[in-house]
Structure 1
Amino acid sequence: MSTRTATGAALAAGALAVTALAFAPTAAAVTPQTATITASCGIFGGGAATLTATQSGTSATLTLTSSAITTPVAVAQDSITSTLTMARAGGGTVVFSGTRNPAMGSGAPVSVGPLAGTVAPGTRLDAYGGSLKMVIFGITVTCKASGPQSPGPFVFS
């Protein structure tokens, strides 16, 4: 009987361990997950913007949203071609691109992304030193950060 009890206890402990792992929170692959910048888009305006990053292996995405930067005209969903160039610590850049955006009315806050890119483990990226280029109805709008992002660069694991 003691062997049966010990086996049952071991199986119960193993089941609890597996359950705990299944419900354990997953670690974020990129830190921070959000950062803010102040962007200038020339005659198209400027102001505070939020960048949101995600990562899965070497694939990463960035989304930019801003209530300070608005659309001059209504745009359809997935109609803005965006290229977000991020400055890499130590030199060089990483490009995130795509045609993902929600439908936005004239004067609506700008939102583009998620824009896809590739990162290596340990990559540190900052919007400062890079740019966001959006092509809307054939017109190119270029935005640049006026300083480093806060709370700091994105660090990909």
Structure 2
Amino acid sequence: MKPPTKHRTLSTATLLLGALAAGTLALAPAAQAVEPTTATLSFDCGSYGSGEASLTATQDGTAATITVSTSTITAPIPISANSVESTLTLTKNGSGTTTFTGNANPAIPAGGAVSTGPLNGTVTAGDSLEASSLTVVVLGITATCNATSPQNPGPFVF
């Protein structure tokens, strides 16, 4: 019997590695995803005004983030990155509440719209979350915004 050729050995190794990789992918857990990934709703922020906000959600296992962007609250002066403290309160499964918090934000020029996030929270499979209020603290000034419409197209389902 002839010893295997170099070409035959490499081909066999390539096939074995390919089969191993395919088997590993088949056994990998399915990625968890939130639906929808974006939603809009209206907020009333009292003396700061009212308007629409856009929410973007992501999920990685039980960790989730939501980024909020709204032109309702504007910066009176330039705001440095990571200096806006925010708490987004959401109705959880129609009865309880949960919060997403953080102080991540891009640098905001004077007169620019306040954008905050990602705000961090914890979820479990099947959680249905709908924003009910947003509290933003900029330079020690607190703005509280209450939702005046349901999320469109609907709650985030994790």
Shorter chain as denominator, the TM-score bin is 0.7 to 0.9
CA distance in 1, matches of 2:43, 2:72: 9
Q: Which residue of 2 aligns with 1:136?
A: 138
CA distance in 2, matches of 1:33, 1:17: 33
What is the DSSP-based 3-state SS (H/G/I as helix, E as strand, rest coil) of the residue aligned with 1:43?
Answer: helix
What pairs up with 1:1-157 in 2 under 5 angstroms? 12=15, 15=18, 18=21, 29-127=33-131, 130-156=132-158
What is the DSSP-based 3-state SS (H/G/I as helix, E as strand, rest coil) of the residue aligned with 1:30?
Answer: coil
TM-score (norm. length: structure 1): 0.80
Identity score, percent:
49
CA distance in 2, matches of 1:142, 1:68: 11
Report how many aligned residue pairs link the two structures: 145
TM-score (norm. length: structure 2): 0.80
CA spacing shift, 1:89–1:126, aligned 2, 3 Å: same
CA spacing shift, 1:53–1:139, aligned 2, 3 Å: same
Q: Is there any run of 5+ residues in structure 2 with no aligned partner, and where?
A: 1-7
CA distance in 2, matches of 1:13, 1:38: 56
What is the DSSP-based 3-state SS (H/G/I as helix, E as strand, rest coil) of the residue aligned with 2:117?
Answer: strand
CA distance in 2, matches of 1:148, 1:44: 20
Instruction: For residue 101 of structure 1, report the CA deviation from its aligned partner.
Output: 0.7
What is the DSSP-based 3-state SS (H/G/I as helix, E as strand, rest coil) of the residue aligned with 1:50?
Answer: strand
CA spacing shift, 1:72–1:42, aligned 2, 3 Å: farther
Instruction: For residue 45 of structure 1, report the CA deviation from its aligned partner.
Output: 1.7
After TM superposition, the runs of 4+ consecutive aligned structure 1 residues lying more than 6 A away are none
Instruction: For residue 88 of structure 1, report the CA deviation from its aligned partner.
Output: 1.0
Greater Rg by CA: 2
CA distance in 1, matches of 2:114, 2:137: 13
**How much is the aligned-residue C-alpha RMSD, in angstroms?**
2.6
